[in-house]
Structure 1
Amino acid sequence: MLYNEIAIISLLILLCIASVGVAVHIWSLQQAPGAREFLGMLAAIFIWSACTALELVSPTMVEKAFWRIAQQLGIVLLPPTWLLFTFAYLDFRPWSRSRARWLLLFLPIVSFIMAVTNDQHHLFFQTLHFDEGPPPMLTITPGQWYWLHIAYSYLCLISGLALITGAFWNASPLFRQQAILIVIGLLFPFITNWAYLSQITHLGVDLTPIAFLFSAPFIVVGLYRYRFLHIVPIARNRLIEVMADPMILVDRHGYIVDYNPVAQQLFSIPKQSYQPLVNVLPWPELYTVADTLETVRAELNYPVHPDRFFDITIVPVESHDGSPSGRLFVFREITERRRNEQRIKEMFQRFTDIIEHTPLVAIQRFDRHGVILEWNGVCEQFYGYTAAEACGRRLQDLILSENAVAEFEQQIEYIWTTGRPVPPRKWQIHTKNGEERWLYSAMFPLFSQGKVSDIVCMDVDITDIYRAEENLRRQRDQLDALYRLTLDWLNRRDGKDLLQAITDSAHRLLDVRYVELLLAEDDHTLVVRACTPPLPTHIARRESPASAPLSW
């Protein structure tokens, strides 16, 4: 045989040591998706390599046959554990979480039992031939069950390879690099085993375990550069690539494992790199907010550009077993909204200043039910209620009369439903001390996000004007009455009739007191009817002829 037995044994021992070393490293990552299945693969590789080395150093046929059968345990378990690892790593549902996935181990276990009991049926190994060498070798003739086992093993290997290849196109750049490493690492033992089974090499020994040594560098690079099994391998849809909002996915250690192009452009994330988020985004406030396992939402300004604001949603990501495995950061820029809010705030502040400093206008702001929300200083002067006393109470209950409440509430409802102001009008109100006053009032709506949010009422005290108008109206009525009285007087011919007509007209038109005076002149008594409000006290009694004045 053209091979160096000592070199092969040394490489197999080296492979066993490497398998143990990688297993120790991954042992601390048992909660990561696929970690336990990967440990199962390492165990199968260790059994296969160790038993192959022991077979090579064994001098007798019995010993070589024992170790050949023992190595079948690793050989039959490796393909299904590879497929189980693929299910878990890609979170391929429902197989990644179904208990039925463990049925994949049923046929391999049966195959191992068939190998152990081969002497009774010879279905696994048809014949075993021992060549004393040197070096001594054991050759086999495969049985029918052996080829069934080979077919099942290759089915598992190809299925896992197909799943990873399919997930490659919908994966993030980091996961694509991991997938490439996994596929390349698998190709070496796959091709080597195929060459052994097809007897292309004619080496007479299965070098498939040795091929795993060529896979080791790719596994090491994946473990330490691309944090293989440290992250959650999330299969993502292409829609993430065209999301308008920046998105960053970090693992439970705070390393960036995925991002979309918008995030890469906005935050200048280095392409195809696995770095801590704190190194990429100098954002202390963000990490203070994110220091929790709950979903968090916050509005923060970006320290690099303080005038830019983002609505940030931080969502915890769980692995297949429910354990926390990372966090998803979604950034929605709200700079324009914050600017609009600031402008609205400034406008509202100016409006509030106008309300507070308008000297002659009482201004109130209330809701749909008339509950007072704002009450300026002039309102305190007009109505007697302080802002503390008025706010929180209904305006209609505070100053309006019962007769005006229904009409006031109708106007509020009209403003709220139509978004239009009502025509200004006069209102009669009562103050805190019970005084009745008259107001000229205008009501109009305030809007927020296109809907009526509040109603503003502006009142001007017209009590003095109203009273002056009432006095003027009465005076005009009196003048009109005197004018008609004069015309009536001029149309009278007889003095007695004239006096009677004047008295009657004055009583009727001016609505004043109507009294009768008894006056005496000589021995004759003259009864004169006169309209004389207010009467002097001496006219209201009978007078003597000498002292009686002629009162008119």
Structure 2
Amino acid sequence: MHFPNNVFAITLILSGLITLGIAWMVFKKTGGAVRWFGYVMVFIALWAITYGCELSSNTLQQMLFWINIEYLGIGLLPPLWAIFVIGFVGKESWLTPLTRVLIFSIGVITVLMVWTNPLHHLHYSSVAVDNSGPFPLLSHHVGIWYRIHTAYFYILLGGGLLLIASRFKKADEFIKKQNRIILIGAMIPWLVNIAYLFVIRPFGHLDLTPFAFMALSLFIAIGLLGFKLFDIVPIARGKIFDALQEGVLVLDARDRVVDINPPMRQIIGANIDQVIGKTTAHLFPGFADLNNTVCYNHENGRVAIQLEDGRYFSVTLTSLFENKTVYSGKIMLFRDITERKQTEYKLKELNQLKDRLFSIISHDLRSPLLSLMDILKMASDGMVSEHEFKSYLPTLSENIGYTSGLVENLLQWSKSQLEGTVINAIQFDIKDNAVYVLNSFGQAAADKGISLQSNIQLATIVYADMDMIQAVLRNLVSNAIKFCTAGDKIAISADIKSNIATILVADTGVGIGAENIERLFGNNNFTTRGTINEQGTGLGLLLCKDFVEKNGGTIGVESKIGEGSRFYFTLPINVVAYEF
């Protein structure tokens, strides 16, 4: 066995240790039926810890060693549960010595069957290690005794549920609160184990039943200890609530907080004396859906909220009733779903990325290539004369230039979005890069009668990824040329203030309308044709924004129709730490 190296093993072992601590407090403080619940918790913990050790093993021999210990919990847990329920419902007279022997018999035989399985293979007909998942798991085929033990397991678990349900009907209103929680909690391992038997398992072999029993033990512990049916206060109750990761608020019939657990105090950032007696409207001002559900809807429900710090929570509301009609309060369970929301947001972005890529490839990239192919095919087939073919060359050259720039931007942007971009930041002079970029567009500008100039007279040293910043400058200058006419000017300048360099690409072109400025850097494609009908995809400015922000800067634009445009972006001039 290795040190636990997966979340399932770590969760089981830590939860098992916590459960052992709670069980110890049960033994110290109580007796009678609740002491049997303490034994149940001990064997649940034993099952959880040893199964966690099994999940940390990578050889068959190690796994079988832990299974032999694990079955002390699996085999003896059902009879301990049965005795606990019998005592809990007040039927201790049933527990004669013979009854106890009968209840424990199958469980004890199961343990012996597992220990001697290599001799008869009645419990497991075969066992092997499955290495196809993220960590080794035991793969097995069941034998006849496994099925016998499963039936025994369900008979005792189901019998316990029926006893609790029968007492639930006859109990007074105070006791109904504990019974309701115990009844609901006891359904958890039942449903999870049914899913396991129907081969609904993570990675094909992972058994979630011990996780379910851990939840059951904590669920029942809250019901018994939280309502003080047994005299285990306040230590055991505190241990149980500390073990819960979800936040819990308990409200009375007037929707005032009467109890709160530590995780909930961390969620709302308040001490217990600042919460008890307050309403949810006081604790969560501005959350109309949540407060309306609490105050005006006495049915069970679920509401999603986002706090000011950006965290998302799914709030499950369970209403409590007396005599099935008299509202007596609510239990509110706050589950942090921030990670799930972030995943959903990323998936949405990826879907938008996919749609954008398909749109660009199917239209903006495909169309010029098809035009080129059509002209070349006609020339090859003799359908156009040499003179006609030469007349098409300027258009072909323009389409090829457009397609080349599009492919370069598309590759850079797609790589940045799909794989993430490694920032190779160095200190370099933006002046030299500005001159280099302007020279590369000299012919394109001359063809339209546009003058290019760099107004950066002094060395301007910035700290960034030089290739990325060159791509930004190329796109901004190319965009400026696109929207300028003969006689217009394009200039690059730079200024340094407070250790921040601001680079400006200004033109005297046609300008941009106020209604379109906000759309330039949006997530949706936005593009217009240039002064001589040049095409665009909208990718260039998205790439600029992405590259500038990844280098620790910001980008913006100022423009008016008929007065030109000023695109500016900032960069640090000192070494900085980038975070992604």
Q: Normalization by structure 2: what TM-score?
A: 0.38
Q: Normalization by structure 1: what TM-score?
A: 0.39
* Structure with the greater alpha carbon radius of gyration: 1
Larger proportion of helix: 2
